[in-house]
Amino acid sequence: MLFEKVPLLYGSGVIPQRFEQFKSGIYQLVMTQFFSSDNIDRFLADEQKSAEPVFDFEPVIAQTDLSPAFDSLLKVVEQSSFGGMLGMFGGSAALQPLKEPFIAKLKLSLTDISQSEQFRQLVLAQLDQPEQLEGVRNKVDTIVRQRLDELTPELVKDIIQQMIRQHLGWLVVWGGVFGGIIGLIAGVLQ
């Protein structure tokens, strides 16, 4: 009845008829109840008190190409007072065998730094900046709006039917049983 218009039955087919209002209501619910500024602030405050890291940067660091860091180090050495001495030992090519060990050590150091309490607090402090919070909230707003724009009454019907089948199956069965009993009693009393 919520999704299909039944002739002569007032209120049936209400979801397709008022779908834009439903989408607006869903948007308001998500943004005011889940992603309000207060909830985001509370999340960040809880994270600051927590001993667990907010983000695990190790996988990102492991996949990052740090060759430019080594190349920059080479340029610094070449332009320093050691540049002349480096020339006596074959120039920059003499340091190339150090590239892989340097990158491995740098990744290890960056991982250690990213797991330190000081770094964790710096990340949380940066996230706690008003412009960062507004940016996060705007991104969530965009995601929610895009997803709501993709919804159709048929898709909502499928989602709700799946949810009912998965979580409310017995409610439907017992509703049918009690409805049948009430109908039987009403039929006998007439």
Same domain membership, residue 50 and residue 6? yes
Using DSSP's 3-state secondary structure scheme, residue 54 falls into: coil
Lowest mean pLDDT among 11-15, 104-108, 137-141, 165-169: 165-169
Predicted confidence (pLDDT) at residue 100 exceeds the cutoff of 80: yes
Same domain membership, residue 159 and residue 146? no
Lowest mean pLDDT among 53-62, 88-97, 132-141: 88-97
Same domain membership, residue 79 and residue 168? no
Same domain membership, residue 110 and residue 129? no
Q: Please state the pTM of the whole predicted model.
A: 0.53
Mean pLDDT of 166-187: 86
Name, in order, each residue with C-beta under 8 angstroms of 30's C-beta and a sequence gap of 6 or more: 144
Predicted confidence (pLDDT) at residue 112 exceeds the cutoff of 80: yes
Mean pLDDT of 37-42: 80
Q: What is the tens place of the pLDDT at every residue in 121-174?
A: 888 888 778 888 888 888 888 998 898 888 888 888 888 878 777 777 777 788
Mean pLDDT of 53-59: 83
Predicted confidence (pLDDT) at residue 103 exceeds the cutoff of 90: yes
pLDDT for the residue 95: 81
Same domain membership, residue 72 and residue 30? no
Same domain membership, residue 76 and residue 50? no
Q: What is the mean pLDDT of the chain?
A: 85
Domain that holds residue 13: 1-54+117-151
Category of 10 on φ-ψ map: left (φ > 0), alpha (ψ -120 to 50) or beta: beta
Same domain membership, residue 109 and residue 64? yes
User: Whole-angstrom Cα distance, residue 173 to residue 179?
Assistant: 10
* pLDDT class of 70 with cuts at 50, 70, 90: very high
Same domain membership, residue 161 and residue 138? no
Same domain membership, residue 144 and residue 98? no
pLDDT for the residue 56: 87
Same domain membership, residue 164 and residue 73? no
6, 13 contact by CB (below 8 A): yes
Same domain membership, residue 106 and residue 128? no
